[in-house]
Amino acid sequence: MTNRRQLLQLGISGLAVTGMRALAPMSLSAATTSALPAFGKAKNVIVMFTWGGMSHIDTFDMKPEAGAEIRGSFSRISTSIPGTKVCEHLPKMSQMLHELTVVRSVHHTAGDHRKAAYWNITGHAPVEVGGGVAAPVLPSRKDWPSIGAQVAIAMKDDHRYSNKPSLSRTRPEDLDDSPIAPVLDWSKLKNHHSISLSTDVLTPGHYQCGTFNAQDGYSNDSTVELIGMISQVSARKCPITRSADGLRIDFSNDVSGDGTAGDWGCDTHGRGGNLWLIGDGGPNEPRAGFGCHANKFITFNVEEIRKKHFNGTNREFVLRTRFGVCGNPGVHPTAAGTGGIWVDGKLACISKLLVRDDPSILLEAPIHEGARFVTMALLNGDSSTFYDDLVFTEPTLIEVEGKLPALPQAKEETELEEQEVNESLAANLPRCISLPYPLADRGLLNGQYGGFLGLEYDPVFVHPGEGTKFKGKSPLAGTINLSPQGVTRRRIATRSLLLSDLNKDLRWEGQESGPALTEASQELAFNMMLSPEVQGAFELGREPKSVRSLYGEHVAGKSIMLARRLTDAGVPLVFVNAGVGDLNGASGDNWDTHGNNFNRLKDDLLPPWDHAAHALMTDLIESGRIEDTLVVFLTEFGRTPRINAGAGRDHFPSCYTVAFAGAGVQRGRAYGKSDSTASEPAELGCSPADIHATIFHALGIPAGFQIHDAEDRPLIMCDGTPLNIFA
């Protein structure tokens, strides 16, 4: 049988099969549908949300005839629909306009981000609508569920979930989690001069570490190149020398969290006390070495050490030290961490994860002739605290003669075999998924969870684990990164077996259903971490190179590509935020452009949105999935037509723009119209409830569908009316 992708490769489009319709300038004279049977052409939905409020008047509803204080500085460009123009900074989506229905007449009355987003994400007005910015109403089980949760419960009996095939699980013994270290044969090495890197090179005392991921830590401009701090945020590319374009190390597999404190202690602990390895059973007394709260490193200049301490020798070295967790009073029992040594940015050896009372580990790193920099890093472990006091004791640099082993070879990034996914995975995946992190404004946003439907319908927040980030802050709590930093897959696999054993006899007092729900949630999480079949749905490397290239390297494109892959696997609705997650006082790459609106849109917001949206549309069209995938471009409100004193635009719920595509949506269509200044709808005004009704209509969810709240009271899920935008 010839599939759709093969037809497209032969040059036969879906339009050729269904019949071409003439493209004309966007019609503005359609009427809403008062009562339609459920349309039901969509199998899946991808919602692309612009958190903060996309400026409608600077994108798809520009007013070139308005005064300068309204129209702004952007020019308009032609689109794929003759006579219709959009913002110049949407060059890609301007050529996709013939595939969309653009709705320019959405409105409501909530001028606060949280209230407006709640309305748009749940389809229901918040309890208190009026007023400006108010104290945040945080998530609770009294909230209406999110659009994803509503779709999930309405489609819970869908055929995709009727069969749940068994999955394979990776077991601990199948994973290599052993320490990386070359094998040194000291019988074949001749020792010459040796020095202590602590006592002789850095010298005893306390040394400042500067700020995270910066080159402002301590240096003596000679043998000590840099003492610095490592955060998880930038662990994949942490600078470890003073040079702005110098060496960087990927610590991401071994760093957990962004916490640390204090300075770097030399021949003492960074906050006082001895470098006492309680697990070794020795006395608590002074000794040579380095100690600190974890997530810190020291880099030595080997060339300068040769000159100052070894008379310029060109012989090779071995760096020998013991790594462990400090046992001084006050060190928390949960303290844990890893120690490693890197030579010129390449990993030479690293310990396994040690907890406080574990015996120390001997590390030996070969340093070949010509090496310039040696970095020693102390990294905190999974679930450790700020009290993760770690130490290198007796760090000795030994001049040797003889053949040293090569540094361990870094694991090459192998190209994954291409793998399509299909709906057979649906029953083993979360019903509701959001990417790439939760939304926040003065606290996590209410309305983005399962609300009164309960834990089972809370979305799983998944980060694609790669991609150029939006600038700013994003909440990480509750977000699953499928390549978790600081937690090895062996440890995850071991935990899965432990939890399985614990759950066999677990009973919640008075709640027969409790264990099943807990077990179901754990089952989903471990499927995502350890099932090769389920992991395949989340692995972007399984996509063809051409598709990965299409979506690009930004997290916006990566997230949208993952959303498309997850809908292929049967997730009925995936919600994607195309901006940073925390509005943070309008700071960062979010759409809350109170100030510097035009530069922020032009430089930081519209380019990744335009690229990601166009890539999604292109991919769906070329694969034929556009026929059964509904795409919704959504935001919580627009921006004020009048530009403020800070060259920005403020909150504006009175009129804004959304767009639909795919799954039978009319192509090249405008629905509704705003007035001459984009201040209010002039034709066919519609509400967030109508947007939701349109989505449900496309999915075949009947009007009047009922759900039950926490008190088991029946409620009509949506009281809106579907827009008449379907072919």
Taking only the tens place, the pLDDT of each residue in 258-315 is 667 789 999 998 777 889 888 898 888 999 999 998 889 999 999 999 999 999 999 9
pLDDT-derived band at 4 (thresholds 50, 70, 90) equals very low
Q: Quick check: helix, strand or coil at residue 257?
A: coil
Per-residue pLDDT for 502 more than 70?
no
pLDDT greater at residue 519 or residue 152? 152
User: Which residues pair with residue 686 across a beta bridge?
Assistant: 106
CA distance 635 to 330: 49
Residue 427: inside a domain, yes or no? Answer: no
Residues 307 and 393 in one domain: yes
- Predicted local confidence at residue 406, as pLDDT: 87
What's the rounded Cα separation, in Å, for the pair 480 and 460? 8
Local confidence band at 154 (pLDDT 50, 70, 90 cut-offs): very high
pLDDT value at residue 180: 65
What pLDDT shows up at residue 465?
Answer: 81
Q: Which amino acid is at 14?
A: G
401, 431, 463 - which closes a domain: 401
**Taking 50 as the threshold, does the pLDDT of residue 690 lie above it?**
yes
Is the per-residue pLDDT at 178 higher than 80? no
| pLDDT score, position 635 | 98
Residues 273, 391, single domain; the answer is yes
The stretch 450-465 carries a mean pLDDT of: 90
Confidence (pLDDT) at 595: 97
- The pLDDT-based confidence of 173 (bands split at 50, 70, 90) is low
pLDDT at 506: 45
Q: Indicate the burial class of 535 (C-beta count within 10 angstroms; 0-12, 13-18, 19 or more).
A: middle
- Does pLDDT of 397 surpass 70? yes
- Render pLDDT for 330-384 as a digit per residue (tens, 0 to 9): 777 778 888 999 999 999 999 988 888 899 999 999 999 999 999 999 988 655 5
- Is the confidence at residue 237, as pLDDT, over 60? yes
- Give the position of tokens 């608590």: 284
- pLDDT category at 473 given cuts 50, 70, 90 is confident
Token representation of residue 450: 């399962």
The CATH number of whichever domain residue 322 belongs to comes to 2.60.120.1060
Res 6: pLDDT: 31
Lowest average pLDDT, out of 77-86, 166-175, 280-289, 448-457, goes to 166-175
Between 395 and 24, the higher pLDDT residue: 395
Mean pLDDT (the chain) is 86
**Does residue 455 fall inside a structural domain?**
no
Given this model, what pLDDT does residue 307 score? 96
The greatest distance separating any two alpha carbons of the chain, rounded to the nearest whole angstrom, comes to: 91
The stretch 596-607 carries a mean pLDDT of 97
Higher-confidence residue of 409 and 19: namely: 409
pLDDT higher than threshold 60 for residue 514: no
Residues 203 and 149 in one domain: no
Q: Is pLDDT larger for residue 648 or for residue 277? A: 648
Look at the pTM and tell me if it is higher than 0.75: no
What region does 545 belong to: left with phi over 0, alpha with psi -120 to 50, or beta? alpha
Whether residue 191 is found in the same domain as residue 150: no
Q: List Cβ neighbours of 486 (8 Å cut-off, separation of 6 or more).
A: 232, 253, 254, 255, 256, 257, 379, 380, 381, 382
Looking at the structure, tell me whether residues 244 and 366 fall in a common domain. Answer: yes
More confident residue, 585 or 413: 585
Last residue of a domain, one of 401, 423, 450: 401
Q: Note whether residue 239 is domain-resident.
A: yes
User: Does residue 391 belong to any structural domain of this protein?
Assistant: yes
The answer to the question of residue 727 being in a domain is no
pLDDT above 90 coverage of the chain, percent: 61
Q: Is the pLDDT of residue 513 over 50?
A: no
* Chosen domain end from 347, 372, 401: 401
| Domain-embedded: residue 665 | yes
Q: What is the pLDDT, as a whole number, of residue 29?
A: 31
What per-residue confidence (pLDDT) applies to 39?
A: 87
Q: Judge if 221 and 112 occupy the same domain.
A: no
Count of domains for the chain: 2
| Domain with 197 in it | 186-401
Task: Let me know whether 145 and 193 are in one domain.
Answer: no
What is the Cα–Cα distance from 18 to 601, expressed in whole angstroms? 38
Helix count (H) and strand count (E) of the chain?
Answer: 14, 32
* pLDDT tens profile 28-44: 333 333 445 678 899 99
Pair 240, 289 in one domain: yes
Distances (CA, A) of 325 to 201, 319, 330, 645: 23, 19, 12, 56
Q: How confident is the model at residue 715 (pLDDT cuts 50, 70, 90)?
A: very high
Q: What is the pLDDT of residue 1?
A: 33
Residue 118 and residue 77 share a domain: yes
pLDDT of residue 487: 57
Q: How confident is the model at residue 575 (pLDDT cuts 50, 70, 90)?
A: very high
Same domain, 151 and 192: no
Q: What percent of the chain has pLDDT over 70?
A: 85
Contact predicate 235/326, CB 8 Å: no
Q: Are 386 and 260 in contact (CB under 8 A)?
A: yes
Which pair of structure tokens corresponds to residue 199?
């006592």
- Quote the pLDDT of residue 627: 97
For helices 555-568 and 606-623, what crossing angle results, to 10°? 30
Instruction: Tell me what pLDDT residue 592 has.
Output: 98
Among 56-65, 73-82, 224-233, 565-574, name the one with the lowest average pLDDT.
224-233
Secondary structure of residue 438 in the 3-state scheme: coil
Q: Lowest-pLDDT range, 306-320, 467-481, 494-508, 606-620?
A: 494-508
Please report whether residue 71 resides in a domain.
Answer: yes
Q: Is residue 12 in a domain? A: no
The mean per-residue pLDDT over the stretch 509-529 comes to 56
Looking at the fold, whether 706 and 649 belong to one and the same domain comes out as: yes
- Which whole number is the average pLDDT over 220-239? 89
Q: What is the pLDDT of residue 515?
A: 39
- Which residues, listed in sequence order, are joined to residue 106 by a DSSP beta bridge? 656, 686
Q: Averaged over 248-256, what is the pLDDT?
A: 81
- Residues 308 and 190 both lie in one domain: yes
